[in-house]
Structure 1
Amino acid sequence: MIIRSLLDTDLYKFTMMQVVLHQYPAAQVEYRFRCRTPGIDLVPLVGRLRDEIDALCTLRFTDSELDYLRGLRFIDSDFVDFLGLFQLNAKYVTVRPSDTAQGEIDLVISGPWLHTILFEVPLLAIINELYFASAHPTIDLGEGRARLHDKIARLRDTPGYERVRVADYGTRRRFSRDWHEEALGIMQAGWGSQLAGTSNVWFAMRQGLVPIGSMAHEYLQAFQSLGPRLRDSQTAALEAWAREYRGDLGIALSDVYGMDAFLRDFDMYFCKLFDGARHDSGDPFDWGDRMLAHYEANRVDPRTKTLVFSDGLTIPRVMELYKHFEGRCHLSFGVGTNLTNDMGPMPLNIVIKMTRCNGQPVAKLSDSPGKSMCDDPDYIAYLRRVFDLPAAA
């Protein structure tokens, strides 16, 4: 059994789930899986994946886990009471070999948002672990340890970078659960206070780390169906977040419709209300410079705001970004695959994305080619027109 706790997921799944419970408990959604790495045959894993899904659906939150969640300042007591009754249900997940693409699998999650939102991260972690256990059964963990120690030493021992703080964002693409836990222990020992925390709630609880996260793309995508009108969906999502958290968890995700559309919606009110913004596609230097200029144009001191970088980061990239933005704002760095799956073999680039909400297509219009995912090209074209964005190249 790969997943042993329902807390073995990213914090933002719980923060979004609380909004769903309180404001949109009847929403119906669909998610789909995609492997972006070419030439990967996942079909032999289908049987074992189904077994792991069945095992995942036997899990319940323990009393100690519920007590831990109840102790987080932004988690409401009624939400924890709901989680005390919660259990994932395998009837919402279908997985089978693809009929159209050899070696690929069709994995679809469909059902109430409230009851399906916690599937994504553990399913991705399961697929990763099954794949690497099958494709690289005799891998030497010593290589991964050596690479991780080199990263730690580079950041820790280079003068001028003592104040850089890095968070682990690597649950969904980790090599394995056991390696993830060991890697976090190595990071704690090597980085000390330079390890800001982890997105993984289970390991945060077990290892005394700070759990980190706010919102993900699915949250803003859903508002394409939930919002008052499509053009106002991004604003509606941010307003709903503010109603729920009243200024807490104030990092806004900026790339669901691209940076131009985000800046049009992120007006002076949101600039002052939210603590900062997170980058997850496109050029991070350009994004950060534009974000800081936007704060200044809205009479907000950028030095009081936080820029969070989380798009495919490596430690050298973290250091480049820190050098560029240091002193101009607060900085946060979320590093995922490079910390939890740099073992020698090429990591998988796999995702599970929301594709429909309440029977309507939803999509992300990414600033990075290949990151968008939608099963309706006509809807993508319509979305671009509504947000006054150029047609995809």
Structure 2
Amino acid sequence: MRLHQIITSLLEQDMYKFSMGQAIYHQFSDYKTTWTFKCRNKDVFFSTEMIEEIREQIKGFCNLRFTEEELTYLDNIKWIKGSYVDFLRLWQPRYEDFEITTDGECGLSIETAGTWLNTSMYEIPTLAIVNEVYFRMAYDYESLFDSFRKRLAEKKQKIESGEYRLGNYSEFGLRRRLSAQAQEYAIEELSSVKSENSAFVGTSNVYLAKKHKLTPVGTMAHEWIMCSGQGNKKHNPAYSNWYALDAWVKEYGVLNGIALTDTITTDCFLRDFQLTYATLFSGVRHDSGDPIVWGDKLIAHYKKLGINPKMKTLLFSDSLDFERADRIKRYFDGKINVAFGIGTFISNDTDEEALNIVMKVTKCNATDVAKISDTHGKEMCQNPEYVDYLQRCIDWRMKNE
């Protein structure tokens, strides 16, 4: 290992991995998944030295265990149950679940396979490792960090001056952060900002939320809908959202309720997000498509169901910067509650272009799964025939139901 160890705690994880992990443990413990890494940047290449460092860093991650102090912290989160905490007491990452080679388009290929319980927990630390290794080994890191600090100072000034009015916002940048140092620095700086119109309320990084006494933020990701809805071959995949919402309510009731809408398009989601679920869930999350069009659609849907939109929250998390968030906040002010999860713009805004890397579930129980999304290009599936099948199922449902 040429660099310092990047992931030093199993709490260095997005909160929604624990939220989903508990429901997986109780309801889908026998499901098996395959995850595939992809770098969307066309001009990025990972050298042999970088890949070897990534291997060593992932081995270091796999040697970690939860401490009793960390488990106590999780146990005190309102919706985390003791049975899941006891499972985590025994849990450890398995390096044997990883296949890391030089076969990818960018020179790097990573695939993980095993139980959903295990492989779900690998995505975020793996991406954080890949990102930090790349920026520390491909660039002069100190110069990058200096540009990061300068840009962050400008953001702080604009919040303090009232130029940006963001309302409640959180940091969602663990997977694509410049470094662990940069993410923590950003959280410390934004936590200190005094503003009447913007409130930094939390982070998706559970380790930093614990360390800095912030709220750990996150409920569900696309994998939840993809696997719970498409992992059973007997299910019609056009009803993925119904299966996912039903399982979530069984686990959490009215707690931990922000639903993700765009896995197989928001229009299809709304067919299942009827009065019961729309009442039980406190809000919904936007992750693709035009945010204004999407928000107006959700407001109209709540009104159609007889639900006061002002009692619900729209959480925006798609490629946000402060300017875009400010514009969304001003548009929806007085119509519905809004909040923001802002990632790369907070955790990796430097003089160099950020990596656009993802690691998505591509198979569940040996069958293909896919995300359609509300934005063309955000789909990820290794089998075009399955995507075609899924789209035809959705189209049939939308026309005939």
User: Same-fold call, TM > 0.5?
Assistant: yes
Partner of 1:96: 101
CA gap 1:389/1:97 in 2 versus in 1, 3 angstroms: farther
CA gap 1:132/1:269 in 2 versus in 1, 3 angstroms: same
Identity, in percent, stands at 38
Cα shift at 1:389: 7.6
The aligned amino acid for 2:329 is Y
Map 1:47-126 → 2, pairs under 5 A: 47-98=52-103, 101=105, 103-126=106-129
Cα shift at 1:368: 1.3
Deviates more, 1:51-60 or 1:90-99: 90-99
From 305, 312, 334, give the equivalent of 2:319: 312
Q: Is the 8 A contact 2:238 2:268 kept in 1?
A: no
CA offsets 1:213-253 (integer angstroms, 9 cap, x no match): 00000010002123743232210110100010011111000
Cα shift at 1:42: 1.4
Flag as ranges the 4+ runs of structure 1 deviating above 3 A: 226-229
Query: SS state of the match for residue 192, structure 2?
Result: helix
From 373, 387, 391, give the equivalent of 2:394: 387
From 35, 40, 44, give the equivalent of 2:39: 35
Partner of 2:168: 165
Q: Is the 8 A contact 1:29 1:111 kept in 2?
A: yes
From 156, 159, 174, give the equivalent of 1:152: 156
1:225 aligns to 2:231 (yes or no): yes
Mind listing any 5+ residue stretches in structure 2 that lack a counterpart? none
Distance 1:373 1:147 in 2: 32
Distance 1:94 1:58 in 2: 17
Distance 1:155 1:307 in 2: 21
CA gap 1:303/1:119 in 2 versus in 1, 3 angstroms: same
CA offsets 1:62-93 (integer angstroms, 9 cap, x no match): 11100100110010011111101110000101
Query: SS state of the match for residue 167, structure 1?
Result: strand
The aligned amino acid for 1:225 is G
Distance 2:278 2:360 in 1: 28
Aligned CA RMSD, in angstroms, stands at 1.6
Normalising by structure 1, what TM-score? Answer: 0.95
Query: SS state of the match for residue 195, structure 1?
Result: strand
Q: Is the 8 A contact 1:152 1:191 kept in 2?
A: no
Map 1:1-393 → 2, pairs under 5 A: 1-44=5-48, 45-98=50-103, 101=105, 103-140=106-143, 141-158=145-162, 161=165, 164-191=167-194, 194-222=199-227, 223-226=229-232, 228-388=235-395
Cα shift at 1:191: 4.6
CA gap 1:337/1:138 in 2 versus in 1, 3 angstroms: closer
The aligned amino acid for 1:8 is E
Cα shift at 1:159: 6.5
Q: Is the 8 A contact 1:155 1:319 kept in 2?
A: no
Distance 1:93 1:147 in 2: 36
Normalising by structure 2, what TM-score? Answer: 0.94
Q: Is the 8 A contact 1:276 1:305 kept in 2?
A: yes
Equivalent residue pairs, number: 387
The aligned amino acid for 1:325 is F
